[in-house]
Amino acid sequence: MSLFSLKSHDGPLTADLIQEPGNFGLGKIPSRLRPISTTTSICGYCATGCQLKLHLDEDGNAINLSPEVNYPVNLGMACPKGWQALDPLTSSERATVPLLRDCSGTLQPTDWTTALTEFTTRLKEIKTEHGSESVAFLSTGQIPFEEMAFLGCLYKFGMGFIHADANTRQCMATAATAYKQSFGFDAPPGAYADFEESDVIVLIGANLCIAHPILWQRVMRNKRSPQIIVIDPRATETAQAATTHLAIKPKGDLALLHSVAYCILRDGRIDEESISNTEGIDDYREFVKDYSPEAVAEKAGITAHAIETLAKSVSEKGKRVSWWWTMGINQSHEGTRTVQAIINLCLITGNIGKPGTGPNSVTGQCNAMGSRLFSNTTSLVGGHDFANEGHRRKISEKLEIPYEHITSQGSLAYDQILDAVAEGKIKALWIVATNPFHSWIDSDKLEKLRANLDFLVVQDMYSTTESALTADLLLPAASWGEKSGCFINSERRLGTIKPVRKAPGQALSDFRIFRLIADAWGCGEFFKNWTSPEAAFKILRDVTRDQPCDITGIKGYDHIDECSGIQWPYPENPSDTSTERRLFADGKYYTPSRKARIHFSAPAELPEKPDDQYPFLLLTGRGTSSQWHTQSRTAKSSVLRKLYPENAYVEICSADALKLGIKDKSTVRISSRRGALTASAYIAPTVRPGNLFLPMHYPEVNKLTHSSFDPHSRQPNYKACSVSISRID
Ligand code: SF4
């Protein structure tokens, strides 16, 4: 049923009329709190992918939750965000009706018919006047992959636009690019079981205790007395709990990793069989000759002896070594090559494809991995290639969309889209379930770009995010807990989410909104078979046939639930159906030669070095396990709000604080070439002299960060820019 089949209805559409099939509870939530049944859903925050058990009343409304004990990911555990996952649904800041900016500049409530008419009319006008490259969408890793795929296919094949990106670009683009170049496909090889099966666990640029607390619990379950090595400029909570902390200089990581390779190759602590499955080792052997520990110690910020010791630890014969990283590596001006330096170490020591090993990226958002495969932005849906004619013909056939609509043109990346806005080439943005006016690097720049946009559409569950408040049109979206679909977690595991609450007012699932837009745009026929998220899942499943991520053996959502989630690949008649599987056990990769490719390059200079005016290097990262990104949701939970400081604070070491007369808790001003903020000083031994740390969740923080990007992945370099600090009270 489309909105336009309801045109004869008198007056605006009500929630009852547009309630989608499968949503629960059209009546009000009963007051009694005794659950009568349960269902399960994957948590909607991070890519750990914990499964939650939702306790339901007789109308199917969730009244409480608990972590699922039998799920192989979280084994009965959840972090504070998971425990409080229902809180943000009932916020008074929910978007409940479409809002349209009137000629006085005020957002006014409207109905869906008007909203969709405005959406299609304005975007068609812009397309007619300025062409198919004049509009872009910016999306998310927070919605199920069926919705992402629908958005990407609708936008490119149905509406005929080109440019689109997701906030995966801020998070995992580096890991995805590195895997693609090294393995021939975006294929994280490991399983979470590897945390428990390693002898040496290297956490580099990853604060698991805070950012992925359940994965840290998996480390704690390891019964092999593992050596836990944390490589991080900051003495994070994880570093403090590790057996070894190497407090390197910010961005000393790439030189350090080359030096570790130098030691291993020099000493012959290598795995010949694994190396025989690679290409490029001779060039790499030659290249790392300049990276002796003595040559690198100053750049890395640790001693030559510490580098030699690290090299021995990660190459000991018979020991299982796993490497794990997150944003400390990915959000860098040279992140792709740094990830590949980790991959290279695993390849030359044979730590891949076996229990307790692997170069394993830990993803940020709950469905970042689904975004990477299905969002139809950087790759053609299902991990295919826009430039490959055979792939385009396959997609045309599987989706039943005429071949001439399957574009071969790749998209601009996120930063390039914003540059195109600055240049006046992109005139309209459609922002879906993300908040770039807070989260994008050097965020003031984006605010200034707003004036260049003729039309800004924001589709979100809240009407109060920084991005929603500046929209011309706000489309109210249902949240996690109010719709169904699938997420893919960091170990390639598909899991389902379920509707357990009714979306407020006239808010609709993103899936439903895309269906309505398809009809309103006039391309609904292309998506006639996308009747529900599960129907879309089956279409997308069939698209993956013969791809590395082939999931054609999955029958449907029930099958996924019965198996406690299913990792890809899972082809028809799978030879291995075990619960936890890893890739590359046979030493065969997805490149044309079936060999892994060793990539490397020399470390580059910092894009913005400290100087007399801005003498400190600013690090940013997650503050607490109770905060999520821009806090759009976590700030709506009264419980979570009590678990973190309300206002921004900055970590500074005692030597620097003493020099500048800064006392603990005094108010300080931090400035960069782009902006300034005030914060409370926290004098702590966690940062090196000359470094500061700010949690990323506060809206002011990205006013300071510097617009520089990894040249391969176009991921922003959030982690190191130069700033000054001074006392202001
Ligand atoms: Fe949710 Fe991540 Fe917390 Fe698990 S660790 S409960 S997936 S936020």
Q: Is pLDDT at 7 greater than 80 in this prediction?
A: no
- Give residue 72 CA to ligand 1 midpoint distance, Å: 14
Q: What percent of the chain has pLDDT over 70?
A: 95
Residue 139's SS3 state is: strand
- Give residue 696 CA to ligand 1 midpoint distance, Å: 18
Tally of CB atoms within 10 A around 606: 20
Q: Is pLDDT at 269 greater than 60 in this prediction?
A: yes
- Pocket of ligand 1 contains residue 679 by CB under 6 Å: no
Q: How confident is the model at residue 219 (pLDDT cuts 50, 70, 90)?
A: very high
Q: Which of 74, 81, 142 to mutate to test the pocket of ligand 1 (most atoms within 8 A of CB)?
A: 81
Helix (H) or strand (E) holding 693: strand 691-695
CA distance 619 to 670: 12
Question: What are 410-425's pLDDT values in tens digits?
Answer: 999 999 999 999 999 9
In the predicted model, what is the mean pLDDT of residues 611-615?
Answer: 97
Tokens of 5: 């089949």
- Give residue 260 CA to ligand 1 midpoint distance, Å: 33
In the predicted model, what is the mean pLDDT of residues 18-37?
Answer: 51
Q: How confident is the model at residue 439 (pLDDT cuts 50, 70, 90)?
A: confident
User: Tell me, what's the pLDDT at 14?
Assistant: 31
Helix axes 112-130, 510-521, angle to 10 degrees: 60
- Pocket of ligand 1 contains residue 81 by CB under 6 Å: yes
In the predicted model, what is the mean pLDDT of residues 54-75?
Answer: 95
Contact 352, 321 (CB under 8 A): no
Tokens of 86: 């229902």
Q: Is pLDDT at 11 greater than 60 in this prediction?
A: no
Fold equal for 99-170+366-494+505-553 and 173-362: no
Atom 2, ligand 1: which residue's CA is nearest?
46
Position 165: which residue type?
D
Tokens of 482: 């109010």
- DSSP code string of 643-682: TS-SS-EEEE-HHHHHHHTPPTT-EEEEE-SS-EEEEEEE
- Please state, in angstroms and as integers, the Cα–Cα distance from residue 27 to each residue in 22, 30, 95, 193, 482, following that order: 14, 8, 20, 43, 14
Contact 701, 626 (CB under 8 A): no
- Give residue 352 CA to ligand 1 midpoint distance, Å: 26
Atom 6, ligand 1: which residue's CA is nearest?
82
- Give residue 8 CA to ligand 1 midpoint distance, Å: 45
User: Tell me, what's the pLDDT at 8?
Assistant: 30
- Give residue 70 CA to ligand 1 midpoint distance, Å: 16
- Residue 52 CA, closest ligand 1 atom number: 6
Q: Is pLDDT at 438 greater than 90 in this prediction?
A: no
User: Tell me, what's the pLDDT at 254?
Assistant: 98
Position 315: which residue type?
S
User: Tell me, what's the pLDDT at 32?
Assistant: 56
Query: Left if phi > 0, otherwise alpha if psi is -120 to 50, otherwise beta: which for 468?
Result: alpha
- Pocket of ligand 1 contains residue 487 by CB under 6 Å: no
Q: What percent of the chain has pLDDT over 90?
A: 86
CA distance 502 to 500: 7
DSSP 628: -
Could you give phi then psi for residue 141, rounded to 5 degrees?
-105, 20
Q: Is pLDDT at 238 greater than 50 in this prediction?
A: yes
CA distance 179 to 352: 13
Minimum mean pLDDT range among 25-34, 372-381, 485-494, 685-694: 25-34
Antiparallel, parallel or unpaired: β 51-56 and 62-67: antiparallel
* CATH match for 99-170+366-494+505-553 among 3.50.50.60, 1.20.1250.20, 2.60.120.620, 3.40.50.740: 3.40.50.740
- Give residue 625 CA to ligand 1 midpoint distance, Å: 9
Q: Is pLDDT at 16 greater than 70 in this prediction?
A: no
User: Tell me, what's the pLDDT at 33?
Assistant: 59
- Pocket of ligand 1 contains residue 45 by CB under 6 Å: yes
Note if the bond before 569 is cis, omega within 30 degrees.
yes
- Pocket of ligand 1 contains residue 213 by CB under 6 Å: yes
- Give residue 214 CA to ligand 1 midpoint distance, Å: 7
Q: Which of 79, 192, 215, 639 to mutate to test the pocket of ligand 1 (most atoms within 8 A of CB)?
A: 79
Q: Which of 71, 74, 209, 491 to mutate to test the pocket of ligand 1 (most atoms within 8 A of CB)?
A: 74
- Give residue 212 CA to ligand 1 midpoint distance, Å: 7
User: Tell me, what's the pLDDT at 488?
Assistant: 96
Between 169 and 3, where is the model more confident? 169
* CATH match for 616-727 among 3.30.200.20, 2.40.40.20, 1.10.1740.10, 3.40.50.720: 2.40.40.20
Question: What are 483-519's pLDDT values in tens digits?
Answer: 999 999 999 999 999 999 999 999 999 999 999 999 9
**From the CA atom positions of the chain, what is the Rg in Å?**
25
In the chain, domain spans? 99-170+366-494+505-553, 173-362, 616-727
CA distance 722 to 615: 6
- Residue 44 CA, closest ligand 1 atom number: 1
Contact 536, 530 (CB under 8 A): yes
Could you give phi then psi for residue 664, rounded to 5 degrees?
-60, 135
**CB-based contacts of 210, cutoff 8 Å, min separation 6:** 236, 237, 238, 622, 623, 624, 625
* CATH match for 173-362 among 3.20.19.10, 3.30.70.2740, 3.40.228.10, 3.40.50.1100: 3.40.228.10
Minimum mean pLDDT range among 30-34, 148-152, 560-564: 30-34
- Pocket of ligand 1 contains residue 215 by CB under 6 Å: no
Minimum mean pLDDT range among 147-156, 270-279, 362-371, 471-480: 362-371
- Pocket of ligand 1 contains residue 82 by CB under 6 Å: yes
Q: Is pLDDT at 2 greater than 80 in this prediction?
A: no
Between 632 and 335, where is the model more confident? 335
- Give residue 593 CA to ligand 1 midpoint distance, Å: 38
Question: What are 325-338's pLDDT values in tens digits?
Answer: 999 999 999 999 99
pTM: 0.93
- Residue 79 CA, closest ligand 1 atom number: 3
Long-range residue pairs from 464-468, CB within 8 A, at least 24 positions apart, any chain: 464/93, 465/435, 465/437, 465/438, 465/630, 465/632, 466/435, 466/437, 466/438, 466/630, 466/699, 467/431, 467/434, 467/435, 467/436, 467/437, 467/438, 468/95, 468/435
- Give residue 49 CA to ligand 1 midpoint distance, Å: 6
Q: Which of 40, 41, 42, 50 to mutate to test the pocket of ligand 1 (most atoms within 8 A of CB)?
A: 50
Q: How confident is the model at residue 443 (pLDDT cuts 50, 70, 90)?
A: confident
Question: What are 695-716's pLDDT values in tens digits?
Answer: 999 988 999 999 999 999 999 9
- Pocket of ligand 1 contains residue 339 by CB under 6 Å: no
CA distance 665 to 677: 15
CA distance 617 to 628: 24
